[in-house]
Each structure stands twice: as structure tokens, then as C-alpha cells.
Structure 1
Amino acid sequence: MTWLRKSVLRWPWLYVALAAVLTLITASLIPRLQFDASITSMIPDDDPVLAELLEVTEEFGSQELFAVALRAEDVYTPAVLQKIHRLAQEIEALPGVSQVDSPLSAQMIESGFFGIDIRPVADGVPQSPEEIEAFRADFTHTPYAGRLITTDGRGAMLLVKFEPWGEDEKRAVVEEIERIAQRYEGPEEISVVGDLYIFHYTEYAMQRDLFRLVPFVAIVIIAVLYWTFRSFLGVFIPLLTVTISLVWTLGLMALFEVPISIISMVLPMILMTLGIASGIHILNKYQELLGQGLEKSAALERTFREITSPVVMAALTTSAGFASLVTAFVRPIREFGIFTAFGVAAAMGLSLTLVPAVLSLVNPPPVKGEKEGASKTLLGRGLQRVARLALSRGTLVLAVGAGLLVVMAVGGSRIQLESNIVNYFDERTPIRQATATVEEVFGGSMQLAVVFDTGEPDGIKDPEVLGRIAKTQEYLNSFSTINHPTSIVDVLKLLNQALWDGDPSFYTIPESREAVAQQLLLFTMQGGSGLDSMVSYDYQQALINAQMKTLDAGELAAVIRAVEDYVEAEFGGDPSLTVTVTGTPKVMMRLMDRYVQTQISSLVTSSVGVGLIVVLLMGSAALGLLCLVPLLFTVVVNFGAMGFVGVPLDAVTSIIASLAIGLGIDYAIHYVSRYRLEREAGKSFDQAVLAAGTTSGRAIFFNSAALIVGFLVLAFSRYFQAIAIFGYLMALTMVISSLATLAIIPVLLRFYENRKLERGRRMRRMAVLFVALVLGISSAAWAVDLSGDDILSQIELGNLLAGSGTAELEMITENPNGAQRSYTLRIYRMQDETGEKQLLEYLAPADVRGTKFLSIKEGDGPSQMWLYMPALGRERRIAANMTGDKFMGTDFTYEEIAGDFDYEEQYSAARLPDETVDGYGVYVLDLEPGADAPYERVKMWVRHEGMLPMRLELFGHGTAEPSKTLQLGDFREVEGEMIPHYLEMRDELAKTRTIIKLSEISSEGVAEDIFSLRYLRR
């Protein structure tokens, strides 16, 4: 590398300018860096366990729990219930929160005047003792009994669900929820908990710790550098090198959109402590040569001629240690290994280019005489004593070392596994304390899921399948660590009991598939909600969801495997039913299974990689293998200490051994390289060992001191117990690797005394690849011939079907994932001066065939509605106050189906500029509501030709964007009137839609007796 050395010393400003430009470019990328602490980010995207969890999330919603938990002496008091009510209201009003399940809003199912009554368990906050007792009794009729309020009445929980927002928006909402909870705390204990909150809190803690620890490490490094060199240059040059290499590394992470994880949060501190190593060795040699009387240019040239080889070898082997983590199963570990390896290589490149360039441009540091460096003289004497001990008592040194290996190997056999991120936190942190509270009061802070897939639509409606789901729930309940398993079975049992007048003997699964289908249809018609988190939209799959306690690794694995064994025994031989266990606990177990594999693969890879590099670059297999011996001591002592102290193998500690190999080899390389130089200079073996021990030994001492102190700074982590332990263990590895180098390598070198040691200074051709940093609405003119109210008065939109007659239609509902349900219905309609009558009869699918919905409206009064279910042989009245709710789970309300809207009477219209839509000229109206209008605002597009409404945007109260959108099309003339045969209603908030396609429309008269309860029963 003579050409590089000469070019740097000839054109130093060129290298300074190049480093500055690259630093400015990468620094501009750093603000794009993100933090990611989610457990799913730790697993490869193609891993089957993660794929199962993502499939469940897509079908049933997030399986991450987010809850606000309240602990009180007695929840059933007006003050506590009022606080719960206000908490729920404030949280639900936040943007991005889609739903809050509160004890007061929990869905109650009971027998009532209209057959069944589905309503919130409380209408307002109970105040009197009688109201509170009634509330306590009614709560037992909800699917949340025992979950939202504990059975002893001392705990309550709010379950929060979010819109599918981006992580930044969700993070802001979570922070606001945390502030709201803190505002309401006292005298009750209020905690924000759950998987999602743990990940959010982890990201928060990572940022706080980084901003706290990085300056602390910088101060420590500055102190160590000043203690070492006692000059401005001795501090400035190594610090400049590590700062630039860190900026390059973080900028590269931002460019490739690699977030900072719980693993890589230690990357800045590691690079800062490691990056000074090359600078220390270079400056140490430079000052040594200046002290020998060499001129600045000669000292620089000789420094880089003699130090380049060990610096390159040390950097390559350290990088190889980190790069070995690319074989890890855990994705953040792989990313940490790749980018830390890059950072070390960058620091090496800067040490061999920027450092000599700067040194050539400034005056050399003052050279201290013997009397000025008393502390260094003391250090030199101490290093000589270590070297003499190795020379005179070599057998004793090896015996002590061998004994230490045996003892520590015993400790290593005691290591346990851990994957629960909560245990990474210090026991004093709020998240650790809140999780412990929820574990104690509510029975778990994680969600375990069991998915049943029948392989065919509507398969879940089979009572036999439902019975097997119920049996699995009973099995899950047998575990003390699993609580509140819930499924569609619980809803169906409550429904069935309510339909039979609350008789407890009917708290059972309905007996037929048709009865199940019709009860579910009734549930949706009565305003029931929450099915989407229990069954898939096509009723092919169902989900059991249970709360699970935070467990130690062994307990977690035992529980998960027991559940999986049960599933295999009960369902393994049934091809018609596939059952899968998934959820955050399963992901944690997957990580535990892979930690050992990660440890073994990275150890083997790093050992082989580092060994090959040292052998090739030294040109001697014997010396290369000799350099690896201190690493054996370092790795074994690390594992032994973990086993004896009780530190588990987790995502953080699983990287220490590979790091120890990459870091510890540096000392051996510098020591052996200096020894070879002394031997080639003609010194005897003893003289060469003493010289290497006092010169390279000095650099090793200060370098290891900087690393030890730098890693010990991590012990001051305010939040992460795991990071503090990582710091202690890394400091220990530096102590062992430096001591093993200074004490054991001299003993081993004696075995080579009779062998001529080749200098082996030839550098193998290396190629270092650096990744390139790359990276209309038109309006028509105003029309003046008609006012907005004139246009509105000419529109007939009150009914989905006009006049009297019959029609057949297909009704398709679609959930946010695009899954659809399809129903075929026949509609009978009669309209005259006395009012309107409408009958809907289901023709398909088979399990709801014969179900009928009757609506009768007389004069200006509200519609009266009934539902007939053939499986039960009885009709049920639909409550009048349900008319604004969704009809049969569609995006249309009962009013819209029954024809209760009268836009001309309920709204006044202002006219907006005309537009062109689908080639048609259209009027655009802005409708302002009257007193009884269902929507706060409506925007309507009306075709010029025929005054046909083509599109409506319906705005809910307090919304700036439309809540629903109605699209009408396929207008056909039927007996002189233009009727839309295609209607599409979109719920813009829920991301669902309903499509109605009309066919076989006829205005022939319909017999009046069709619109009667007697006809319903036919």
C-alpha cells in the first residue's frame, strides 16, 4: 500500500476534502433514521411463524394488545366509573383511534321485548347503589365479563384499537394516550400496557438512552485520550476519526431504511469505543519515533510503513467478527453486524488516510521526556513485570489459564434463554411495574391466538366445529398462565340464551347450521359488533384470543408446546380443519429457539473468518493460530460469567461472543506484529518479548482501558437492564482478552523460538466495495337557471326501489381486506298515500334462505320492523331506535333500506360549480342539514339529464372528510322511470363497502297480505 501512503502525504488536502464531502452527504441523511422495537421486526419476513401472525393480523386485526388499566379498591363506585367513562371518551376522540372497548360501553346481549336486546351495558354512568348493582349484574351478560372488569371488582381495563395509520402517527397517538392516563391517575393506579405499548415505550427509552449515553461515552473517550497522550492532537485526531465513521454508518443505515433496534442502539457507543483503537496505535507509534529524534516527515512515513499491516489486520478481523452476525436468524442482529462491520472498516480507512493527512498538515505534538511521564513509567514497569512473569513462569501461567477455562465452562452450561422484551427493562421502570400490575390483576399482558380454518366458506357455522372450538377454549382455561380465552362461541351462547327468554339451559351452541347463520344475521341486524375480530368475513376461519402472562423462557416454551401438542392430538388427523397456534408468545418462543443457532453459527463463522484473515495476512499459519488462543479464553469466560451470574442468552447477549472474537484479536495482532519487528531487528527472544510488552503493551493497555470504560458507561442506562448487562460483559471480555494477550501469548511464542519467523508483511490484495449513495381538477362554468333547492326538489332518492312492485337483487358486502359475502334477496314493496310497506326475503345462501325482513311505515311515523328466522320458527321485532344502525352488517342504515330519508325536507341545498363526471354534465350541491337530518353535511352530484343522482358524500358529525360515499349507476328505464340498478355504499372510515345490484324489477301489484306477520311465518 505504498502508493496510498505516498499519495496521502503528497496531497493531504484532497483526502481531507473528500472526507468532508462524504461526511456532509451522510450527515444529511441521518434525520431520516427511524426506531423500531417491534418483535415482528426481529424475524425474517419469510419465516413461517411470522407469516402465520401476519395472516391472522390481516384477517382479524392486530394481535398486539394495547390497554389502559385501572386499579382501585372498588371499581363499582360512581367516582371510579365516571373516571373510566371520561378516560374512554377522551381516548376515543383522538385521531387515529378507531374504537375503545370500555366496561360501560361493553356490548350486552340479553332477552328483551324485541326478542333480544343488544345494547351498551350502561346508559351513562351509574350513580345510585341500585343502578350500580344493576350494572354489576348486567355486565355478566357481556362477552367481556371478567376481562374489562375483574371478578373481584378491583381492576378495570380499556382496550384501544387503532386505525391502520403509519407508525409515526400511531406513536403520536400513543404518547397522547399516555398523557391522558397520567392526568387521570390518583388515587387509582392507572397504567398503559400491552404489546404495542411495550414496543412504543422501548423506542422512547432507546432514544432517551442514546441521547444520554453517547455524550457520556464521548466524555469518557476524551478523558482517556488525554490521559494517554496529554495533547490536543492526541484527543482531536482519534475523536475526529470515530465521529466521521459513525456519521457515515448512521447515514448509510438511513439510506437503506434500516431502523435503529434494541440491538443496534449500542452501535454508536461501540463504534466510538472501537474507532479510537487504530488512532491510539498510530499516534503511539508516531510519538515513539518522534521521541527517538526522527523528523516529522520521516516519523510519519515510517509510522505508516510499520503500522499499516497490523491496523489493517486488526480492522479486518474486527469487521469479520461483526460480519459473522450476518448468519443470525434475528434480523436486527444481522443488520447490526453488517453496519458495525462497515463502521469499523470506515474507521480503518480514515486512520490510514485522514489521520496521516491531518498529521502532515499540523505541527507534531510535544515529545515528553522521561520525567514528564511518571504515570507512563509506572505503566512501563508494570508491563515489564507481566512480560517477565510470562517468561519465567510460563508453565504456571498456562496452568492457571487452563483451570480458569474448566471452571468457566461449567458456568457456561448453566445459561438460560430469554426473549421477553419486558425483561430487558430495569425493574424500576414504569413499563416493568405496569406490566407486573396487569399480570397480577388481569391475568396477562400478551395475546395468544388459536386459528381454526375449515377450508370452505361458512364452515365455522357448523355446530360440530363450534363445539371443538369451545373444547379448545376449555383446554386453554386449564392453564393458570392463560386467561379469558374468547371466541365466536361465547357470542353465540349468549345469543341463543337470549332468544329463549334468558333460560340458562339454552346457554349452548345452536343445534343447526341454519340456526347459527340466522342468529348471526340477527346479531348484526340488532347492531351487534365485534365479529370481525372473531371470525373471517366468509366464515371460513375463527379465532380464539386469550391473555397470557409474561413467562420465563422455559415456562413459555412449555406452555406453547403443550397447546401445540393438544392441537396436533385433537386436529392433526382431520384434513377438514386446520388449527394454528400464533401470536406474540409464539414469536417469542421462535426467537428463543433461534438464539442458540445464532450463537453457534456466528461463533463458527467469526472464528473461521478471523482465523483465515490472520493466517493470510501474517503469512504464517502457526502465528495466525497462536493469535486465536486469547479468544478462546475470552469467549469461555464470557459464557461462564453469564451462567454463574444468571444472565440469560437473549437478542443482546447473543452477539457478545462474536464481538469478543472480533475485538480481542486486535491485541494479539498488534502484540505479535511488534514482536516480529523486534526479532527482525536482531533482538533475542526475551528482549523482543519485553520490547513488545512495553510498547504494544502500552497501546493495548490504553486501548483496552478506553474500551472498558466506554462499555461500562452502558451500565448507566436509565431504562435497559439488558444494555447495562451488555456493558458489563463487554468490559469483562476486554479485560480478559488484553490480559490473555499480555500474559499467555509470550508463553506460546516460546514454542516458536527455534523456528524462523517470517515477517509476512505482504498484504493480500483486498477489494473494499463501498455502496453508492443514491438514492388535476377542472370545474365547469356556473349555471344560473336552477337553484340548489330547485334541483333537490326534482330528485327522487328517498327509496332504493321506487313505487310499488317486486325486484330481485344481489347484495355484496366487503371488508377492508377485500373479502366478500354475497346474499340474494327478493323485495316486495307497496307504496300509497297511507304509507310504505317493504318485505325482504333471503333466497341465498342456503343457511339463511327463508329469513324475512318486514318494514311498515304509516304516515310520517318511523318504520316498524320485524325479522323472521326459519331455524327458530319465530319472528323478532327490530327496535325502533336501531333505524340509524347498520342494516344486516351492510354499510346502509335501516333508514336507507327502509326509505326514511327525505333530502328535500331534511336539507337545504346550495349550488356549487357544475362538473363533468363520466362524460355527463352534473350539478353539484352542498346540502346543509335541518334539525332531524342524519348527516351533518351532504355533497351531491346530480346528472343534468333526467336529474339523476350519481354520487353522494355523507359527512358525519365533526368530520372534515366524508364518512360514507354512495355511488349510483346503471340507470335503466322501468315503466317510465329511471331506476339505478347499481348502488355502492362505501364506509370511508371502516374501509368497507356494500354493493346492491338490482334485477327483475316489476311494478305489478303486490297482495297486501304479504306485508303481515302471518306471511313471515310461511
Structure 2
Amino acid sequence: MAPCLLDVSNVLFDKTLGFSNIKMKILFTTFALQHPRKVYGLVLLLTLACLAMMPLLTIDTDPENMLREDDPARIFHNQVKQQFIMHDTIVVGAVSATGEGIYNPQSLQALHQLSRGILDIDGVVSRDQMSLDTVDNITQQGPGTIRFEWLMQQAPQTQAQADAIKQAVNRLPMLNNTLVSGDGQAAAVYVPVADKDESYRIAEEVRGLVAGLDSSDQYHITGLPVAEDQFGVEMFIQMGISAPLAGLAIFILMWVFFRSLPLVTGPMIVAMATVIITMGLLIGMGFTVHIMSSMIAIFLMPIAVVDSTHILSEFADRFHPGEDPKAVIIKVMDHLFTPMLYTSVTSALGFLSLMLTPIPPVQIFGAYIAFGIFLAFLLTIIFIPAYISRMSPEALKSLQNAIHRMEDGGRLGRWLPRLGGFATGRRFVVLLVAAGAFAISVAGITRIQINDNPVNWFKADHEIRVADKVLNNHFAGTYDAWLVLESTSADNTSLANEVNQLIAGAEAQGIDLSAYAVIGNLELDVLASRLDDQLFAAGADEAVWLEQMLAVVEQEQQQRRTFLNPAVLQWMEGLQTHLLASDLVGKVNAMPDVVKTVNRELRSGADADFLLPDTANGVAQTLLQYQSSHRPQELWHFVTPDYRDSLIWLQLTSGDNQHMSQVVALVDAYIAEHPLPEGLRYGWAGKAYLNVVWQDAMVSGMADSLLSSFVVVFVMMVVLFRSLKYGVLAMLPLTFTITLIYGLIGWVGKDYDMPIAVLSALTLGLSVDFAIHFLQRYRELRKQGTNDISLAEMFQEPGRAITRNAIVIAVGFTPLLFAPLVPYITVGIFLASIMAASALVTLVLLPALLKFETIGKA
């Protein structure tokens, strides 16, 4: 059999790819036809091996991982979390159902019971939980003394006790509109979690506690950690539903098209094997499944069946009873190998371009989709010939009858010639409409707004989304951003000079203190500690000099305690006032609030004394008093123990990165007009800010990847067709489809988010696929007839094949439309639009332009 196959194949010379392409076709086809059982066994073994890796799946929905581990913004964010002991936080809110407010014994008793129950949940950082029962009330015990007592150590039993709690909260700026809403209708428990990946479990336990409360109030749970973790849980469920549904939808559609089980079974085996092997390798190689990689199966399923269907359809069309099916399949593979190879390469290239983005999950998504496309190509050219070689004569006849039924008529057979007649007969109208649509789409692209928010990944009626809306309507905001003020590196030169002068003076009296001449290399705290220790063992003469040296060091320490300086705190207070006046920030919590609150109670307790002390010693006194509270560790959320760095906690009512970008711009403008105190610099951290960073990186990365892959695909088209003209024509459907789809996004006001961004890769691959098949078949027909006849023939079998493929791919994504998660719905809608647009542009715009060709042969 082998010599026969080689003889037939050697006759078929591919003018485009040359001898290497002949060898490749001979190698794969010969092996498949000679060893079909080995092919079956190899595919089955590989599929089962990769299937066995599936239980190792790990879900990752943390937007922080959208940035590389060495990204400066991510590193700084994690440094800030450690430096100021900040935690990812779940927000649990209780909203009065009657409208009478939260300050009543029943509501506060339920809140007290809930908070105590949450403290016992494993994974909750109990010492930092913020609720009415875990924070202090700060009052004046007497002139110059302060009293710290638990605000709600016991749940109130009377309305008078509830009113007393209300009065206390209203006097404490750190609590007002944070623990209790400004309108008094809602109260919150801030639940810090040790591991954000445990957020969903903790939230579920909180829901269980809420179910056991005797309360008529409405309880809501939100916060980015629980939103991200819950999305991961629901995404896992969605993966298990959407991929099988996509396969079922494609199977049903292909059955409707062909009514032949053999014709449907082969492509479905290729598709299922492609999906299982690709996902199994991704999981087995240790990659976590992110929101984008969770869609790999949905993307590959419809793409993988197209080439298989092409081969089976052409085989059935060429095969006649009595012929050797193996010889026929060789001819079919010779005819289809090159276009299938090029369409696979261009599709894969579109996704490989995502490797140019600086977003790791998007890179993984692009790499594995590209791998899956190549895998589908290899499985198709090996498995399908083996599959055909094993078909019985009855099955071959059934296959042939199915194709003939399809080609004899049907709706596609009726309206496609009409579409072709319109495209060529009204070509000037087509080109005018296309130019107008292109111009309108370009205008729409300029309206696109870059925005994303993990909470908006849920539908509007999802409990997370409802909680987010309700609680942010009542409170200052459940989204956090951290503005960090840092002292720049200190210069020890002046201090070293003073110390060296004292060393020289001591030396003149015969006292050796040269060990302290290395001050430039020592931390002040270390030096002060050494001097203090040495004083205990020093003689009277030496002690005089050591005391002078210690005084110099302590004075320098005091000067370097930047955030004990009233002028610095006044600058921070001015920034707080400016931010609150902007309506962009719900609340700003910072050092000045702590200092002013304690200072008021140290003085008179009256609102007139709610201001900053005039001296650094006065500031230090307030902070020393605050450290006598039940929660002294809270101070270190806002300032470091050496008082050189400080954190300003901004509460935002929206997690949209557009909102955060406006806040960043507002702070930049303020600092430009009111410069930072000398020796300070600032930086941003917090999840809301990280969202902005990775969104900006994604947009710039997507632009680079799209442009570079566009150029590469264009060069490939020129090489494939050996013609600059046909290379340009092949790129037109791609160009128009991308422009039309993204123009539509701009005009309808859909935010440019992560799923929308990666759709450009799919558009790049699939749109040019249709053009390749169209132009190649057209050129073949032109060699046999006139332009008009060739164009008319294109709307017979070639047009039907392109249309069927577009429908199959679009239908493969329809299960996404019924998903409970917005990104999946978005992908489903826009991919269907991409398929419709690219197929329509191919079947209308290309014929309109080709109608202008001269009568000669192409």
C-alpha cells in the first residue's frame, strides 16, 4: 500500500509551499492510512493521560495576578500590606428593613451576636476585626486624661443605651460612616481575612450565622476578596456546564446540516480530544485557571470541527462507489492541506500575539489557544484520514448521500446566489455602504472607555452585585485605595559631624569613644540603644560625653519622626478636605483623625478642640495616649513605629478603574499645586489601584500585539497568494470586522474590559480564515472561466461551506449567553457578532471588489 500512496502523492506538487509541504502531507497521510488503529490508540492514550490531570485544577480569580510577580506596582502593594499590617477585608452590612434606622436594641443585639460569631470563624484575623463591639469609645475621664472603653461590649437592652452608642459613633470620625452609615440606616462589620483565597468559605459561614439571627434587618456581604473568590467558585461550575453544552450545540447543528452520524462523529472526536488534551496539559503543567483560560474549551470546540468537516465534505463529494477511499483521501488532503495549514497558522498567530501583553493570565490563554489550534490541525490531518479508512461501504454511502443532500438545495442554496448577485450587481452601493460603516465605526472606537471591576463580573441581580450597590449607597465606600507617604533616605552626614566633634572633645580628655565614629553606617535606634546601654557601665567623666552624644542622637530621631510634625499633619488634613470635596471619595481616614480625636478629649472634650496640636510633643502625647486603648495596633495601620511613613486610607463607592484613575489624577493635581512637605514622596497601593495598573498594561499590550500580528499575517497572505493585491484583499474582512465590532462597542457604551480586549485575537484569526478559503477557491475557478462565472460559482459550494463554518463556530459559543457570569455572556455575544460580521464582509465586500478584475485569469 505504501508505494501506491507515495506514487499518488508525488504527483501532487504544491506550488505554494514546495517540496517540504509534499513530504509533510505524504508523511502524515501515509502513516494515518497505513496504521489507523495506532492512530486511534495514540489519540485515546494521549486524551486519557491529559484527562487524568484534570483533578489537579486550581482556580485563580485574583486581579493581582494579572500583573507579573516582579511588577513594581504589585511589589509596592504587598510591601505596604506588610508594612502597615493591612488585610484583605470582607464587608458584612446590616440595613434596616423598616427605615427606622439601625440604632435600636433589636438590630444592635443581632449585630453583636453576628460579630461575636464571626470572631470564631477560622481564617478571620480577629484582632483587627472592626465592628461596634470590637472598637473603643474615646471619652474624657478628667482634665488631661482619657478613658478608653469598649463601645458596645454588651448588646444594648434599652433604647437609651442604643442612643448612647449613636452619640458616641457620631463623635468618632474613624467610625462614623464606616461602621455605621451617615444616615444611620446601616451598620457594618469589617472582616479581615488571613488568606483571600478563603474568602468564599468564610462568607458562606457568615451567611450561616446570618440565617440564625432573630432580626428583620437585611444582611449583605460584599468586598473584592469575596467577589473574586466567589467568582472562582461559580467559574468552576460554569466551566463544567458550558464546554459540554457547546459540544452538544455543535453536534445538534451539524446533525441538522448533514443528517449523517459518521459525518458528525469524526469532527466531534477531534474537537473533544483537542479540548481535553489542551486543558489537561495546562492544568498538568501547574498553571492556574483564570477567567480567560476557563474559556479555552469554549473557544477550541467550534474551531476544531471546521477542518474536519471540510475534509469529510470534500471526500464525500469526490468519492464514487468502487474507488479506493484511500486514494481519494490523498487527493483531498493534497487539495486542502495548504489552506488548512495557513488558516491554522493565522488563527494561532492571532492568539500567540497575546504573548506580547504584559498580563500573565492573558499570555497563558493566548499560548494554549494557539497550541490547541495547532493540535486540532494535527489531529485532523491524522485522525480523519484514519477514520475514513476504517469506514464501511455502507457508512461511506451514507456520508456521500448526506453531502449530496446538502449541496442540492436548502435555504443556503437559495439565498446565497441572491446575496452574490447583490454584491456584484450593486458593487458601488456595497462599497459606499462599507466606507460609511467604516467611518462610523472609527468614530465609535474613539468613544471606547477602558474600565473593569470584578464585582461587575456578576449579573445585576446577583447577591454580590446587590450587596455592593446597597452598601455603597449607604456607606462611604467598600472599596479601598491606599495613598502612602514615605520619607526619603536620611543623610547622616550632619549627625556624623556632630558626633565626631564630641568624640574629638572626649579624646582631648583621654576618653576613647572612637567606636561611635561609624554612625553613618548605623540606624539611629541601634546607636541610641548602644549609648543607653553604655551609660550604665560608664564612669562619671565618660558618662558626660555619652549623655551629650545620646541627646544629639535623640534630637535627630525626633526630627526624623516626620509624622509627628504638625505641619506635615496639616498638609495631610488639607488633602483630606480636598478629596472629600470632590465627590470622588466617600471618606479619607488618616493620622490627623486619630490625633485630633485624642487631642479633643485631652483638652476639653468640646468640638472646638477637635484640631491638631501645635507642637511635635503635643502630637506625640496624643499618640502615646492612644496606645493605651484596647486596640493600640490600629495606629500602625496609619503610621510606621518610627513615624517616617504614613498611610492614608481612601474609601471609594466604586471599584471601577475609571473612578480610581480620577482619584489619582485629583491627588496629582493637588500635589502639583500644594507640594509635599520636604523629604516626602508618595505612592499608591490597594486593589482598586492595582486594577488601574493592569488595565493600562493590558490596553497598551493589546495594541502592540494586534499591530504586530496584523503585519505578520499580512506578510503571510502575500506569500500565500504570491500577490500583493490578494494579500490586501485577504486582510480586508479582518480589518473591517475588527473596526466594526470595536466601533459597535464604543457606540453602545460597553466598557473595554478584559474579555473584550482579547476578542481582537479571535477576530484576527477567524476573519482572515474565511478570506483565505474564499480567495483561494476564487483563484482556482478563475483559471477555468471568466470573472462573472467564477464569482457566481463562489456562491454555490464554497459560499455554503464558509457560511456553515461561520454558523457552526457562532453556535459553539451560544451556551455562554445563558451563563450567570457577565464576562462569559460578553464573549458569547461579541463572538457571535464577529462570526456574522466577518462572514458577511467576506461574502459581500470581496465579491464587490473582485468584480472590478479584468477579464484575464487571476
Whether the aligned pair in 2 keeps the contact of 1:638 and 1:657 (CA below 8 Å) is no
Distance 1:378 1:153 in 2: 65
Distance 1:62 1:218, change over 3 A: farther
Task: Report the CA distance between 1:547 and its aligned residue.
Answer: 0.9
From 422, 432, 436, give the equivalent of 1:399.
432
Distance 1:688 1:485, change over 3 A: same
Which residue number in structure 1 is paired with residue 467 of structure 2?
A: 434
Listed as ranges, the gaps of 5+ residues in structure 1 are 758-1018
Aligned pairs (5 A) from 1:977-992 = none
Which residue number in structure 1 is paired with residue 180 of structure 2?
A: 149
Distance 1:383 1:134, change over 3 A: closer
SS where residue 146 of structure 2 aligns?
strand
Distance 1:90 1:636 in 2: 55
Indicate whether 1:739 and 2:840 are aligned.
Answer: yes
Query: Which residue identity lines up with residue 27 of structure 1 in the other structure?
Result: L
Whether the aligned pair in 2 keeps the contact of 1:496 and 1:510 (CA below 8 Å) is yes
C-alpha RMSD of the superposition = 2.7
Task: Report the CA distance between 1:291 and its aligned residue.
Answer: 5.5
Whether the aligned pair in 1 keeps the contact of 2:353 and 2:366 (CA below 8 Å) is yes
Q: Which moved more, 1:9-18 or 1:541-550?
A: 9-18
From 206, 212, 222, give the equivalent of 2:251.
222
Which residue number in structure 2 is paired with residue 710 of structure 1?
A: 812
Task: Report the CA distance between 1:756 and its aligned residue.
Answer: 5.4
Distance 1:57 1:673 in 2: 59
Indicate whether 1:289 and 2:392 are aligned.
Answer: no
Whether the aligned pair in 1 keeps the contact of 2:598 and 2:625 (CA below 8 Å) is no
From 581, 593, 596, give the equivalent of 1:490.
593
Task: Report the CA distance between 1:76 and its aligned residue.
Answer: 1.3
Query: Which residue identity lines up with residue 407 of structure 1 in the other structure?
Result: I
Query: Which residue identity lines up with residue 846 of structure 2 in the other structure?
Result: I
Residue by residue over 1:974-1011, the C-alpha shift from the partner in whole angstroms, topping out at 9 and shown as x without a partner, is xxxxxxxxxxxxxxxxxxxxxxxxxxxxxxxxxxxxxx
Task: Report the CA distance between 1:440 and its aligned residue.
Answer: 0.7
Residue by residue over 1:494-546, the C-alpha shift from the partner in whole angstroms, topping out at 9 and shown as x without a partner, is 32333346354443334443444454344334543312321224332111112
Task: Report the CA distance between 1:335 and its aligned residue.
Answer: 2.4
Query: Which residue identity lines up with residue 738 of structure 2 in the other structure?
Result: V
Q: Which moved more, 1:536-545 or 1:89-98?
A: 536-545
From 198, 209, 220, give the equivalent of 1:191.
220
Task: Report the CA distance between 1:33 and its aligned residue.
Answer: 2.3
Distance 1:272 1:261 in 2: 19
From 547, 552, 559, give the equivalent of 2:663.
559
Task: Report the CA distance between 1:182 and its aligned residue.
Answer: 4.9
Query: Which residue identity lines up with residue 665 of structure 1 in the other structure?
Result: V
Aligned pairs (5 A) from 1:938-957 = none
Greater helix share, structure number: 2
Task: Report the CA distance between 1:95 and its aligned residue.
Answer: 0.7
Which residue number in structure 1 is paired with residue 419 of structure 2?
A: 386
Whether the aligned pair in 1 keeps the contact of 2:483 and 2:683 (CA below 8 Å) is yes
Whether the aligned pair in 2 keeps the contact of 1:107 and 1:118 (CA below 8 Å) is yes
Task: Report the CA distance between 1:127 and its aligned residue.
Answer: 0.7
From 76, 81, 86, give the equivalent of 2:108.
81
Query: Which residue identity lines up with residue 671 of structure 2 in the other structure?
Result: V
The number of residues matched between the two structures is 752
SS where residue 482 of structure 1 aligns?
coil
Residue by residue over 1:278-331, the C-alpha shift from the partner in whole angstroms, topping out at 9 and shown as x without a partner, is 112112112211258743212211111111111111111111111112222443
Listed as ranges, the gaps of 5+ residues in structure 2 are 1-23, 491-559
Distance 2:219 2:258 in 1: 54
SS where residue 190 of structure 1 aligns?
strand
Distance 2:320 2:717 in 1: 31
Whether the aligned pair in 2 keeps the contact of 1:224 and 1:702 (CA below 8 Å) is no
Indicate whether 1:70 and 2:171 are aligned.
Answer: no
Which residue number in structure 2 is paired with residue 315 of structure 1?
A: 344
Query: Which residue identity lines up with residue 797 of structure 2 in the other structure?
Result: T
Q: Could you state the TM-score of these two structures normalised by the residue count of structure 2? A: 0.82
Indicate whether 1:421 and 2:454 are aligned.
Answer: yes
Aligned pairs (5 A) from 1:587-606 = 587-594=690-697, 596-606=699-709
Q: Could you state the TM-score of these two structures normalised by the residue count of structure 1? A: 0.70
Indicate whether 1:9 and 2:33 are aligned.
Answer: yes
Whether the aligned pair in 2 keeps the contact of 1:64 and 1:447 (CA below 8 Å) is no
Indicate whether 1:51 and 2:80 are aligned.
Answer: no
From 95, 101, 104, give the equivalent of 2:122.
95
Distance 1:185 1:341, change over 3 A: farther
SS where residue 362 of structure 1 aligns?
coil
Distance 1:654 1:450 in 2: 29
Indicate whether 1:331 and 2:432 are aligned.
Answer: no
Aligned pairs (5 A) from 1:271-670 = 271-290=300-319, 294-363=323-392, 364-365=395-396, 366=398, 367-368=400-401, 372-373=405-406, 376-455=409-488, 458-500=561-603, 502-529=605-632, 530-550=634-654, 554-572=658-676, 574-594=677-697, 596-670=699-773
Distance 1:338 1:550 in 2: 33
Task: Report the CA distance between 1:696 and its aligned residue.
Answer: 2.4
Distance 2:49 2:636 in 1: 48
From 42, 47, 61, give the equivalent of 1:23.
47
Task: Report the CA distance between 1:46 and its aligned residue.
Answer: 3.6
Task: Report the CA distance between 1:200 and its aligned residue.
Answer: 1.8
Distance 1:715 1:185 in 2: 39
SS where residue 359 of structure 1 aligns?
helix
Whether the aligned pair in 2 keeps the contact of 1:460 and 1:541 (CA below 8 Å) is yes
Greater strand share, structure number: 1
SS where residue 571 of structure 1 aligns?
coil
Whether the aligned pair in 2 keeps the contact of 1:316 and 1:613 (CA below 8 Å) is no
Whether the aligned pair in 2 keeps the contact of 1:68 and 1:181 (CA below 8 Å) is no
Distance 2:331 2:386 in 1: 14
Distance 1:554 1:90, change over 3 A: closer
Distance 2:53 2:620 in 1: 56
Which residue number in structure 1 is paired with residue 7 of structure 2?
A: none
Indicate whether 1:128 and 2:168 are aligned.
Answer: no
Distance 1:135 1:231, change over 3 A: same
Distance 1:686 1:156, change over 3 A: same
Residue by residue over 1:942-981, the C-alpha shift from the partner in whole angstroms, topping out at 9 and shown as x without a partner, is xxxxxxxxxxxxxxxxxxxxxxxxxxxxxxxxxxxxxxxx
Q: Which moved more, 1:514-523 or 1:411-420?
A: 514-523
Distance 1:370 1:483 in 2: 65
Distance 2:836 2:406 in 1: 24
Whether the aligned pair in 1 keeps the contact of 2:431 and 2:845 (CA below 8 Å) is yes
Give 1 or 2 for the bigger CA radius of gyration. Answer: 1
Indicate whether 1:138 and 2:165 are aligned.
Answer: no
Distance 1:61 1:220 in 2: 51
Task: Report the CA distance between 1:594 and its aligned residue.
Answer: 4.2
SS where residue 351 of structure 1 aligns?
helix
Whether the aligned pair in 1 keeps the contact of 2:600 and 2:611 (CA below 8 Å) is yes
Distance 1:582 1:571 in 2: 20
SS where residue 45 of structure 1 aligns?
coil
Distance 1:186 1:753, change over 3 A: farther
Tell which has more relative contact order, 1 or 2 (C-alpha 8 A, sep 6+): 2
Distance 2:577 2:196 in 1: 37
SS where residue 409 of structure 1 aligns?
helix
Query: Which residue identity lines up with residue 147 of structure 2 in the other structure?
Result: D
Residue by residue over 1:114-136, the C-alpha shift from the partner in whole angstroms, topping out at 9 and shown as x without a partner, is 93222211231111233222222
Task: Report the CA distance between 1:194 and its aligned residue.
Answer: 1.2
Whether the aligned pair in 2 keeps the contact of 1:443 and 1:481 (CA below 8 Å) is no
